[in-house]
Structure 1
Amino acid sequence: MKTVEKIERKLPVLKTRKRVAAYARVSMESERMQHSLSAQVSYYSALIQKNPEWEYAGVFADYGISGTVTKKRDEFNRMLAECEAGNIDIILTKSIQRFARNTVDLLNTVRHLKELGIEVRFEKENINSLSGDGELMLSILASFAQEESRSISENVRWATIKRFKQGIPNGKFTIFGYEWQDDKLVIVPDEAEIIRWMYAEYMKGASRIEIGRALMERGIYTRQGKPWVDSNVKVILTNITYTGNMLFQKEYCEDPITKHRRKNYGEMPQYFVEDTHEAIIPMDEWQAVQAEFKRRRDLGPFGNKSLKLSAFSTKITCGCCGKHYRHSGKRNTAGEVYYVWTCQTKSQKGASACHSKNIPEKMLQNATAEVLGLDEFDEDAFSQQIEEVIVIGDDTLTFRFYDGHEVTTKWQSTAKTDWWTDERRKLWGERHKRKDTNPNKHLFYEFTGFIKCGCCGANYRCQSGKRKDGTPTRSWYCTGPKDQCHNPGIRDETMKRLVTDVLGLDEFDEAAMDAQIENATILDHTVTFHFRDGHTESRDFLDKRHGTPWTEERREKARESMKAAWTDERREAMSERIKKIRSEKKWPNP
């Protein structure tokens, strides 16, 4: 028998195309560099799209951004995000210098892409990051690129200093009060008046914070539309450019790779150029402001009168972290303010950063008076004799005197007992009785603390109940002694009806009542409403009683009736019935 073998048709296997992107960058903003960047983008777009084995994944290009840092390169970071998302397999770039001039950033980025299985090809150096010797070559060439960047930076710095020596500024900087016309600073009259006012106010004693607040009250903002605060007011008051002269290299670049800038305190030479433009502030006035700066700085916090300081400021030191204590006003529920001293670390970072104990100011004053041997705290005596107070643990204070000796004393907070006097306790109770002053007023009824007894002066209290049909009821009764006050109660619906009537409303409105009426008093069956404007109005009421009080004769008759009905036979029958119920429900016998 013949054997037949079927040969299946084989489909051609198509290779998966690689998703390829390119990265381009130029570091200078100029027409020539922009043309160079466009040329790079066009070149890589065409290169990728004409390769049949590649799929175009885009060209990412940064314009006018240095390659020494990666965090400011938006397109570079967007490309890395696409890599993280798995949308890129290969990255093409012109050279190592275009990719990164920082050796650490370059190697970290390439290694991370290598972990993701992404290849980076450097065209000029002919390096493939996934090849065996790729990383070694990258390390060597990246170091050269970094040093080249450093060399370029040094050349730029040399050219800048050369211009400084010739009295030429490094570009046209922005400064409030002036504008550039050609290559010269020209005064802006409106802004110049503001600057003169700021200098004058500072010499009159105003702080920088107060000057900023005054400008904001007048609706004056910086040229960028931002509010005036301590920092930008300081820039105005310390800028020597307002004297008509220029000081070059007030700042310098500490590292060309990190681009970190530092204020020049003499590490680098500075260049002072006189009479470069018209002055807004005379030199002698500017120097007087700088001298005032120094005087206030030497005084420390006491040189800033906008700060609310006391004799204890800068003198209370935390024994845990070494920071000074600062005082803060606390407001209790009665609206009164009291002061507490707290460690700055604890205040800023929380109790987990410093477990020092807060000290009430009154307690601190009492301890100081005791150490100084005074009957009461004397601020002048404290300032003259005590240099520092160290807070140790929860109950110890060490006082260091200017003459060198120390006194250690124990303290215990008596804030609660000092504060909770009989008078304040009574006031607190009265506040809590009223709905409008109690912190839990949202839990109260409409007339809580509103109705007072005209007989004994006590407040009325609400009692809730239910009628036989299950309807809830609410009535208000005097809380005074029952043997002394016999004022009647009043139903809740009756009170609401009277309020609606006295205010001329269509229906009861609690907000309208609280706004117009202070309270109501009940005497016998008359409610008197005391309005907030001073006048009063009265309304009579007579709630139907739920029965008639029993007389002694009726009560005696009822007792005799019960005795006659409760015979021995009935009592015996009830006893047997209870025994049966207990046996059925398995109740224990007494």
Structure 2
Amino acid sequence: MKMIQRIERAAPAIKKRLRVAAYARVSVASERMQHSLSAQVSYYSARIQKHPEWEYAGVYADYGISGTGTAKREAFQEMLAACEAGRIDLVLTKSIQRFARNTVDLLQTVRRLKALGIEVYFEKENIRTLSGEGELMLTILASFAQEESRSISENIKWRVKKRFEQGIPNGRFRIYGYRWEGDALVIVPEEAAIVRRIFQNFLDGKSRLETEREFAAEGITTRSGCRWVDSNLACVLRNITYTGNLLLQKEYIEDPITKKRRKNRGELPKYLVEHTHEAIIDKETFDYVQKEMARRKELGPLANKALRTTCFTGKIKCGICGKSYVHDARQDRNAPEGWTCDSKKRKNGSCGVKGSIPQKILLKECAAVLGLEDFDEATFLAQVEKIVVPEHHMMVFHMKDGRQIERHWVSTAKKDCWTPAYRAQVSAYRRSHVYRRAGASCLTTRIKCTVCGRNFQRKTNHGIHVSWRCMGKDAPPLREDVLKAMIADVMGLPAFDETAFSERMERIEFHAPSELVFVFKDGRQVSRTWVKPKKTMPPHTAEQKRKMSEAAKARWAKRREQS
């Protein structure tokens, strides 16, 4: 018998087109480089769109940004986000230098994309990252690119150094009080008057903090419209440019890859160029201010008249971090004033010494060490060099005659802070905010027992009824549902209302043997007799009936077996 087999025509497999993107970058922001970047973008756009097996996924370009890092390259970050979202299969780029000049960043990015199945093709080096030898060649050539960037940086540093040696500044830096006209610094009269005032305030003995407050009160701001603060006032006082001289190479770039700037503290030579522009402050005044700043720095907070200092300021040192203890007046809360390690005042700061030293304890221990009945400031300053705190509840007094006296103390701060006035304040607060506590209700602390003087507490009787019971057990339990119904009747309400109760009712008093007195906030009192409610049990559910029936049958079956 002949067999007939029908052969279906196979549907042609449609090959999925690759979604291809390109990345371009130039590091120098100039007209010539802008044309170069535009040419790269046009080239890649046309190339991707002409390829029949490719689907255009965009061209990402960064203009005027170095390739030694990735954080500031916005287009590069957008391309990586598109890769993470699965919108790109292949990335084209001109060369390794265009993609990254940092070996670590390059390899991390390539491996990140490789894990997503995305290939990067470097045209100049003809490297595909998904190929077997791709990463090896990439590592070698990326190192060359990074060293090339380092070499370029060294060449630029050499050129800048030669400019400094010739007395030419590297660029037109911004400085308050001057503006650039061509290659010369010209005084701005309004700003120069502020600069002179800053120096004059300092010469008059005012601290930078006092000048800051003075300028804030008068509405004097910086060129950018910001408030004058301690840091930029210090910069003005330390800037030698105001004397008509230029000090070059005050800062330098530590590493060409990280581009981190550091202050030049002697690592590199500095260049002083004299009489380059008109002075705002004469050199003698400037030098005197520098010496005075050094003197005040040596004195520490004692040199700042704007600070509230005492004889203990700068005298109490932390034995772990070495910082001074600072005075904490604690005027905003009911706690005794004391002294705390400065490291704890800073953000996320902690040196290991817990707690603070109360002022009362400090005065007491100092008087004991000095052999006095009452603390005397003059005697303390004359005999005590410093106080070191190696651990909490311990102080070591370093005397000026070389002796070291160790003292241990016990804090009574918590006990001392509970004054009658503060206790009344806390009680009033708790009465008005009690309903916010977890597990509390509007009746919490409102039911008083006049027999023992204690409050009633809320209790649950095996999940059946909620009752309020006297803590001293001198009163019968008050079932909550019956009590609320009684409260509603006393207040003339159809049902119990929490808001009305909190606003109108002061408390409920229990008087033996069974009297409840409802005290209103307006002074009115209503008395009711408490009648113990009959015990009521809820009807059994079908599940409870079934379990009881099974238990009864089991008991009878066991008895029959025994008989």
Q: Deviation string for 1:506-544 (max 9, x for gaps)?
A: xxxxxxxxxxxxxxxx9xxxxxxxxxxxxxxxxxxxx99
Q: Kindly state the Cα deviation for residue 398 of structure 1 after the two structures are TM-superposed.
A: 1.6
Preserved CA contact (<8 Å) 1:357 1:393: no
Equivalent AA in structure 2 for residue 211 of structure 1: T
- How far residue 29 of structure 1 moved from its aligned partner, in angstroms, is 0.7
CA distance in 1, matches of 2:284, 2:274: 15
How far does residue 387 in structure 1 lie from its aligned partner after superposition? 2.2
Residues 1:301 and 2:301 are matched in the alignment? yes
Seen in structure 2, the aligned counterparts of structure 1 residues 197 and 252 have a Cα distance that, compared at 3 Å, is same
Counting only pairs closer than 5 Å after superposition, residues 29-68 of structure 1 correspond to structure 2 as 29-68=29-68
- 1:373 maps to 371
Aligned 1:538-557 pairs, distance under 5 A: none
Q: Are the aligned partners of 2:89 and 2:117 in contact in 1 as well (CA < 8 Å)?
A: yes
Query: TM-score under structure 1 normalisation?
Result: 0.72
Kindly indicate whether residue 98 of structure 2 is the aligned counterpart of residue 98 of structure 1.
yes
- The aligned residue for residue 411 of structure 1 is 409
Amino acid aligned to 1:415: A
| Structure 1: distance between partners of 2:248 and 2:526 | 96
**Alignment size in residue pairs:** 462
SS at match of 1:23: strand
Q: Residue 330 of structure 1 aligns to a residue in which SS?
A: coil
Distance 1:62 1:468, change over 3 A: closer
1:295-343 Cα distance to aligned partner (Å, 9 max, x none): 111212322233333222233233455443222122376xx77412223
Residue 519 of structure 2 contacts residue 525 of structure 2 at CA under 8 Å; is this kept in 1?
Answer: no
**1:236 & 1:160 partners in 2: Cα distance?**
25
Q: 1:75: how far off?
A: 1.0
* Mapped partners of 1:60, 1:468: distance in 2: 75
User: For the residues of structure 2 that align with 1:369 and 1:544, how far apart are their CA atoms?
Assistant: 57
Aligned residue number for residue 229 of structure 1: 229
| C-alpha contact 1:345 1:354 (8 A) present in aligned 2 | no
Task: Give per-residue Cα distances to partners, 1:250-302, cap 9 Å, x unaligned.
Answer: 11111112111111122212111122111111111111211111111121232
Q: 1:370 to 1:123 in 2, by over 3 A?
A: same
Distance 1:332 1:64 in 2: 52
| In structure 1, distance between residues paired with 2:151 and 2:423 | 79
For the residues of structure 2 that align with 1:545 and 1:299, how far apart are their CA atoms?
A: 71
- The letter of the residue matching 1:414 is T
Q: 1:249 to 1:348 in 2, by over 3 A?
A: closer
How far the C-alpha of 1:366 sits from its partner, in A, is: 0.5
Conserved? CA contact 1:179–1:186, under 8 Å: yes
| Structure 1 gap ranges (5+) | 445-463, 480-488, 496-521, 523-542, 547-590
Q: Tell me the alpha carbon deviations over residues 198-250 of structure 1, each in whole angstroms, 9 at most, x when there is no partner.
A: 11011111222222222222212211222211111111111111111111111
Give the partner amino acid of 1:28.
V
Distance in 1, Cα, partners of 2:410 & 2:198: 48
1:74-153 equivalences under 5 Å are 74-153=74-153
The alpha-carbon distance between structure 1 residues 390 and 76, as it changes in their structure 2 partners (threshold 3 A), is same
Mark the CA change 1:416 to 1:112 in structure 2 (over 3 Å): closer, same or farther: closer
Change (3 A) 1:440 1:291: farther
CA–CA distance in structure 2, aligned partners of residues 65 and 188 of structure 1: 33
Q: Is the 8 A contact 2:336 2:413 kept in 1?
A: no
The Cα shift of 1:379 comes to: 2.1
Distance 1:406 1:269 in 2: 46
Aligned residue type for 2:241: T
- Cα pair distance change 1:43/1:414, threshold 3 Å: same
What 5-or-longer segments of structure 2 have no aligned partner?
A: 436-486, 510-517, 528-563
- Structure 1 counterpart of 2:203: 203
Shift of 1:193: 0.7
Residue 163 of structure 1 pairs with residue 151 of structure 2:
no
Shift of 1:348: 3.8
Could you tell me the percent identity over the aligned residues?
55
The root-mean-square deviation of aligned C-alpha atoms, in Å, is 3.1
Q: Does 1:243 align with 2:243?
A: yes
2:398 paired residue number: 400
Give CA deviations for 1:366-404 in whole Å, capped at 9, x if unaligned.
001100101111222222322222334443322111222
CA distance in 2, matches of 1:22, 1:36: 15
Pick from 377, 384, 387: which aligns with 1:386?
A: 384
- Which residues of 2 match residues 185-584 of structure 1 at below 5 A? 185-331=185-331, 338-348=336-346, 354-416=352-414, 418=416, 425=420, 427-428=421-422, 440-441=431-432, 466-467=489-490
Aligned-partner Cα distance in 1 for 2:288–2:15? 80
